A and B are shown apart, each in its own frame.
Chain A
């Protein structure tokens, strides 16, 4: 079966700047996919090409098997939720939501019924007569979503829809958004630069950088097996360390990392002695101990705490190792603040092998 939304080798340049380069992507029916990356990575341009606001230089877009490139924006039947919401300021909530239905020449009764239904679903009943400027940011967001959903579009496009909400509301709305998407079973392409949001909401994440797709995978893969330094660093907090292969044998490898020699037992590694590689250990997988003698961790190295940031639920330490390398260590539910000489413990299974430049180590 063909994918519901299919993008093939999509390329777009603005003058000299590459916005999107050779992007191919498949989205299955009902899937929630997020285009994630820093600003200027081409995620919004990709979305706008799907919506028909920007014409690609090269490449094809298919929706449900239909070739979309030649279809004008107003006939694509993909609904978009804009970053600024783009509610019509001169229409009340009802008319905003009804606008697309009116253009589709639906009967008055049907329009009334469908608008009421969608507003009810979004807990916005009774707000029909209000104008956008009389609504809070969260309510405006709901209207924008209602306006898109009421059309029962073939795909839903969302351009950083939560970025104008305050932090607490953002989390609440994002959960709601996910539920609605599941409820409608609507294929969704979502754009954000917030990696936490992407992890929380997506079925799949496409990480982009400078117009190029870096990695496509579900949140687990993206977080636990980043394919390169950029993805590892962009998603969550990373301790990226360069390592040299010192010994290698069946089922084990010994690495020289930050002046320490670390033995890792793992099957399926094919590393040559002397090879330089990049590894990552997430801060939450490191633990700190006052004494070197303990049984909880496989590996222990010595370090010195330089500074900390206390965030209530967690505390982050910057720990300097023998050769000067700094590691970030995150502890949950801290009860005391540690300082001075310290021992870092971790398990070898938490060491991720990240690619060095071109080569991939997964």
Chain B
């Protein structure tokens, strides 16, 4: 049915809300993007692009993106396949541990890598006796693959779960053996989802700042170059030009994902046969996958174990005496940055969740001219690399009419905007589930549009609202790439302080601060999830 013809009485209040949402999107999404593009002059563009270092950074970025996103996707696929098509022991344990990287700052794996393979690395120095360290692209490749595969696992797991087991049984029934079923049914059905994961991870890797800055050293990629332009030379035009260069491939991938891959999913076609057990992989495959999962989980455990150990020894690589000395860092400015992190992330997460719930109803659900533009702007931040957004906010709000630089607001707003797409997508998906008849029923019983929103949409979207908050909070508290451009004295955050400590070779305090930050994040997520369960205790059957 043509949506344009469905009657929606857009009253004055709805128009006002749409206007407010539109203003926020234009000022805090569109403006920074345009500002970055237009900031450098044409000469400055040509100057920066002609630089040998820029060309190297672009090449490196594209190279590592291809490499890391393919391996991360592959690892994620194998893991997801193991979780869905085997009966190997320890599945629940693997599943739980493997998601840890999603909860921690993006540079945690890199930090562990430094502790294990760095100048005073446990493995390089202590075990192998190698002097110097193994930095450069090899390390970055491994680190990013480990850091990002959980994302691919989550996506592909959803895709595999969506495949109707009956289709696989039908193939078996038609005479296909195990590997045949995999090649002719499972894989083709999962492929659109796998490609989707690949593209999303490519966007993450391309935008990744934390891992390369810690371990890529002299091997430049675009995000680190952009940071270098500003921190080293305070060359804003150069940074803006490089940021534009970085946004291009990201935007391309984003559009590819939304146009080409969208609607290619086969999942919605059937989706029946829930609760039916899948045909399992053969015993040999199962044991291979078990070995793979065990290895992978060990690596993740090693990462976090190393961090914990690093926090509780006197001086890593030199003095292995257990001690709490590293936690002295919590006193003073660096400790305060933790409070800032918590405070900013709460507000950013809450802001993004509130914005999303309103945007999903008043932009996604209503009909008005310009709706598509606002919809696009609500999703656009997902395509914007953190570094780009940081530079964009830096350039946009340090001069009138709107001066925000030096305030907490600029950090909160940037982090909020960056997290809008997640919440927006969660809420629109929730709205789709609710269906139009519930709203119409409320309207039919006498509820005006505001009452419809208050009485039906808001309570029914509580779950996407809370999960939007949790995701937004986590991403905000662990963010480095945006905040590094926006902090000011007294407004620093923990991730930036951690980076600072690492760059001063104060690994112990850096690790200690990381461990505390991670614990705080886990605690908040835990509380939010308890809240979620508690508020839905009575509504177990809510989901259809």
What is the interface of chain A, defined by CB distance below 8 A to chain B? 12-15, 51-55, 72-80, 82-84, 86-90, 99-100, 103-104, 131, 133-134, 147, 151
Contact B2 A74 (CB under 8 A): no
Least CB separation from B451: chain A residue: A103
Contact B7 A99 (CB under 8 A): no
Q: Kindly list chain A residues whose C-beta atoms are within 8 Å of the C-beta of B541.
A: 89, 131, 133-134
Task: Name 7 A/B residue pairs within 8 A (Cβ), A-sorted.
Answer: A54-B6, A84-B435, A88-B456, A100-B445, A103-B445, A103-B451, A133-B542
Q: Kindly list chain A residues whose C-beta atoms are within 8 Å of the C-beta of B540.
A: 133
Known: A52-B443, A54-B5, A76-B444. 6 other contacts (CB 8 A): A51-B440, A55-B5, A73-B9, A84-B435, A88-B438, A89-B541
A196 to B463, CA, bound (A): 43
Contact B542 A54 (CB under 8 A): no
Q: Kindly list chain B residues whose C-beta atoms are within 8 Å of the C-beta of A99.
A: 442, 445, 447, 455
Encode B433-463 as 1/0 by CB contact (under 8 A) with A.
0010110111111111001100110011000
A40 to chain B, nearest CB (A): 11
B463 to chain A, nearest CB (A): 11
Tell which of B6, B442, B444 touches A88, judged by Cβ atoms closer than 8 Å: B442
Q: Kindly list chain B residues whose C-beta atoms are within 8 Å of the C-beta of A83.
A: 437
Contact B446 A104 (CB under 8 A): yes
B432 contacts chain A at the CB level, 8 A cutoff: no
Contact A72 B9 (CB under 8 A): yes
Take A90-B542, A131-B538 as given contacts and tell me if A51 and B441 are in contact as well, using a CB distance cutoff of 8 Å.
no
Tell which of A52, A77, A90, A133 touches B460, judged by Cβ atoms closer than 8 Å: A90
Take A83-B437, A103-B447, A104-B446 as given contacts and tell me if A14 and B5 are in contact as well, using a CB distance cutoff of 8 Å.
yes
Tell which of B7, B441, B460 touches A55, judged by Cβ atoms closer than 8 Å: B7
A142 to B190, CA, bound (A): 43
A28 to chain B, nearest CB (A): 23
Count of A-B residue pairs with CB < 8 Å: 92
Leading 3 A-B pairs by shortest Cβ distance: A133-B541, A100-B445, A86-B441
Tell which of A100, A131, A134 touches B446, judged by Cβ atoms closer than 8 Å: A100
Q: Kindly list chain B residues whose C-beta atoms are within 8 Å of the C-beta of A72.
A: 9, 448
Least CB separation from B539: chain A residue: A90
What is the interface of chain B, defined by CB distance below 8 A to chain A? 1-2, 5-7, 9, 435, 437-438, 440-448, 451-452, 455-456, 459-460, 538-542
Contact B447 A74 (CB under 8 A): yes
Tell which of A12, A54, A78, A87 touches B444, judged by Cβ atoms closer than 8 Å: A78
Q: Kindly list chain B residues whose C-beta atoms are within 8 Å of the C-beta of A78.
A: 444
Instruction: Tell which of B440, B460, B540 has the most Cβ of chain A within 10 Å.
Output: B440
Q: Kindly list chain B residues whose C-beta atoms are within 8 Å of the C-beta of A75.
A: 446
Contact B539 A89 (CB under 8 A): yes
A53 to B449, CA, bound (A): 12
Contact B446 A86 (CB under 8 A): no
Least CB separation from B11: chain A residue: A72
A76 to B541, CA, bound (A): 32
A175 to chain B, nearest CB (A): 25
B52 to chain A, nearest CB (A): 56
Take A55-B7, A72-B9, A90-B459 as given contacts and tell me if A15 and B2 are in contact as well, using a CB distance cutoff of 8 Å.
yes
Contact A103 B446 (CB under 8 A): yes
Contact B440 A53 (CB under 8 A): yes
B158 to chain A, nearest CB (A): 23
Q: Kindly list chain B residues whose C-beta atoms are within 8 Å of the C-beta of A12.
A: 5
Least CB separation from A80: chain B residue: B444
Q: Kindly list chain A residues whose C-beta atoms are within 8 Å of the C-beta of B435.
A: 84, 86
Q: Kindly list chain A residues whose C-beta atoms are within 8 Å of the C-beta of B437.
A: 82-84, 86
Least CB separation from A104: chain B residue: B446
A192 to chain B, nearest CB (A): 17
Contact B6 A79 (CB under 8 A): no
Contact A73 B444 (CB under 8 A): yes
A142 to chain B, nearest CB (A): 15
Contact A80 B5 (CB under 8 A): no
A54 to B444, CA, bound (A): 12
A75 to B9, CA, bound (A): 12
B434 to chain A, nearest CB (A): 9
A12 to B460, CA, bound (A): 32
Take A100-B446, A103-B447 as given contacts and tell me if A86 and B440 are in contact as well, using a CB distance cutoff of 8 Å.
yes
A316 to chain B, nearest CB (A): 33
Contact B442 A54 (CB under 8 A): no
